[in-house]
Chains A and B, each alone.
Chain A
Amino acid sequence: MKICVLVKEVPDAAVEKRIDPSTGRMDRSGEKNLNPFDTHAIEAAMQLKEGGELEVDEVVAVTMGPDSALRALHKAVSLGADRSVHLSDEALAGSDVNGTGYALAQALATEAPDLVLLGQQSDDGECYTIGAVVADHLRAPSLTQVIKIDVEDGRLRCERQAEYGYDTVLVELPAVISVGDAINEPRYPSLKAIMGAKKKPLAKVAAGDVGIAPDRVGYDNARAHCGAFHDPPAKSAGQIIEDEDTNETVEKIVAWLDERKLI
């Protein structure tokens, strides 16, 4: 059985994100981290592999992005993936959710995995939707924001929080599951794994290699077009206290609360 894990490179949380005014797209030059939610997806794959209830032969990390996205794949491999696939093509640049989900599904279809795992959201785009788009293209059952996976008679027993409390859903394979960060504590890669990451097999594929129709991807074919950007209504900034002397800080908080008759 094969598990594919979708991963993505995102800006470092400490780097200020911005829209490049000349292109209207997000400036991704400060990117260097594997999306934190994706590390939970890789860990979930590793736990399924090591748990032994499913016979997992390999875990494959898959990403779509420019050359720099290689770093996300190296990180994924250092965390346990056996090999990786890098879907990279100038034609894919600027794809919207529709195009990205379609392109990833095309790449995944070539791999024909029994299970696709991904993080429920990316740190930058916050779309939450890619998993369900990919699933429909792959004609597979899908569940997002899953926080517990157990194997039950070859199916996955998944738990997640939905609108009215916690739901438990049984999902048949092949399936597409996106996971939340409460699902596990990702392991730290060993030094040996980090050093060995670049030696694991990596396939670079172009759009044409996986049958991606050119008129469905890229900035010009986005079905949702981001037009004008404008500022949100201004909100006056609040008061900030840097805690140096805690007794003094607490005194200030109490005075602030007292002024507003909250004590």
Chain B
Amino acid sequence: MTNILVYALHYEGAFNKNSLGAVSEAARLAAEIGGEAHALVLGSKAELTDELCGTLGTYGATTVHRAEGPEGLSQPVVDAMAKVISDGGHGYALFGGGLLGFEIGAGLVARLDAGVTMEVTAVNARDGKLVAERPILQDSSISDVEYRSSVGVIIGRLNAFEIVERGSGAAAVVDVDYELSEWSTKATMVQRGEQRGADVNIEDADILIAGGRGLGKAEGFEALEALAGSLGGAVAATRAVVDAGWYSYSAQIGQTGKTVAPKLYLAAGISGAIQHKVGMQSSENIVAINKDSNAPIFEFSDLGIVGDLNKIVPKLTEAVKAKKGS
């Protein structure tokens, strides 16, 4: 019997949807290898009520291990998960992706001498063991990864695991008796979840015009706003330009940002790194403008234009306006 332990991230009273996907996936896989899916949550007991923790049973977790500790930092979670795995003999630790999942998974690698696979897009059960599929080389090939360690760490790509409600009852909630490592107490959260820039709603837009580093400077977004205006859409951005302060955080697509699937996604000056791709690949029509003909985005766009966006975007705006006026 091999059990799987999943880290479930929560914030302001709700679980992260990628964590719910990971719990669902763990329940599916555990059934195939004859084990159970367990979840670990960490935070204040006041917020992590029995009721909230128990809801993870809906997605197939049978037991929820509840640890008290500082939220939003990875190393306390490493301490708690390592304790639960050592006591319970779990064979795998599964994460739904995101920054904390990568950090916690990596910490467990060192702590438990575990093998790790990241950016995993699918997991299969084979002869009672789990095999992780990891796309490599800009998704041009997929590698099947097997574990040769007593614990295997699987870090999913964002949105890789589907949320499935299994209709099972509430999970049992067990408090974890663990100690923080000395070094886990040396990082302290000063402020969490700060929103930067104006509040923009991009999730409901049918048309999104997205900008990346290729815009060259923050002012480059003015041309995109004009194009979005002409098409009746909204403007979105990559993480790189949001971190650089060029555009609002709430407009960010991809890893740690939002996931969108509009009718039209026009990417201007975006190379199409995996972290961006995971947030927009389900869009109905993808148009890309990039001066680098080798940009990965051309591999998953429906219409690709190799050229200078500074020349093309303003003319396209005028042409769309003219078309609409006709």
Contacts and interface: CB of A to CB of B under 8 A. Distances in A.
Interface of A: 14, 17-19, 26, 96-98, 101-102, 105, 126-137, 139-145, 147, 157, 160-172, 175, 180-182, 216, 222-232, 235, 237-243, 246-247, 249-251, 253-254, 256-258, 260, 262-263
B137 A19 contact: yes
B105 A168 contact: no
Given A253-B303, A263-B324, A246 B102 contact: no
19 contacts: A18-B137, A26-B136, A97-B106, A126-B274, A129-B109, A129-B118, A135-B110, A136-B75, A136-B109, A166-B249, A223-B115, A229-B142, A229-B144, A232-B135, A232-B139, A232-B141, A239-B303, A240-B305, A263-B320
Residue among A163, A229, A230 with most chain B CB within 10 A: A163
A262 B285 contact: yes
B249 A223 contact: no
A238 B284 CA distance: 13
A223 B285 contact: no
Interface in B118-138: 118-119, 131, 134-138
Q: Which 6 residue pairs across A and B have the least CB separation, nearest first? A: A243-B307, A223-B115, A224-B115, A132-B106, A182-B243, A136-B110
A258 B323 contact: yes
Contacts of B263: 262
B285 A132 contact: no
B312 A246 contact: yes
B315 A167 contact: no
Contact of A250 (B78, B141, B315): B315
A234 to B, nearest CB: 11
B104 to A, nearest CB: 8
Interface in B275-308: 285-287, 293-294, 298-308
Contacts of A238: 286, 298, 300-304
A98 B109 contact: yes
Given A101-B106, A238-B304, A139 B181 contact: yes
A260 B193 CA distance: 39
A224 B285 CA distance: 37
B148 to A, nearest CB: 6
Contact of A144 (B99, B207, B244): B99
Given A162-B99, A246-B307, A226 B107 contact: no
B146 A225 contact: yes
Given A243-B311, A250-B319, A141 B184 contact: yes
Contact of B100 (A26, A163, A170, A256): A163
B316 interface: yes
A98 to B, nearest CB: 5
A7 to B, nearest CB: 19
B119 A126 contact: yes
Contacts of B184: 141
Given A241-B306, A246-B307, 8 more contacts: A96-B115, A98-B109, A98-B116, A129-B102, A164-B192, A172-B186, A246-B315, A263-B324
Contacts of A133: 106-107, 109-110
Given A157-B190, A163-B9, A169-B187, A260 B285 contact: yes
B188 A169 contact: yes
Interface in B92-113: 98-100, 102-103, 105-107, 109-111, 113
B74 interface: yes
Given A17-B137, A169-B190, A243 B243 contact: no
A127 B308 contact: no
Given A161-B249, A242-B306, A139 B182 contact: yes
B322 to A, nearest CB: 9
B147 interface: yes
A167 B307 contact: no
B323 A254 contact: yes
A249 B312 contact: yes
Contacts of B106: 97, 101, 128-133, 136
Given A129-B102, A132-B107, A260-B285, A161 B242 contact: yes
Given A136-B107, A143-B187, A263-B320, A166 B305 contact: no
Nearest to B189: A169
B316 A144 contact: no
B10 to A, nearest CB: 10
A140 B243 contact: no
A171 B300 contact: no
Contacts of B195: 165-166
Nearest to A230: B142
B223 interface: no
A246 B136 CA distance: 36
B231 interface: yes
B145 A227 contact: yes
A98 B312 contact: no
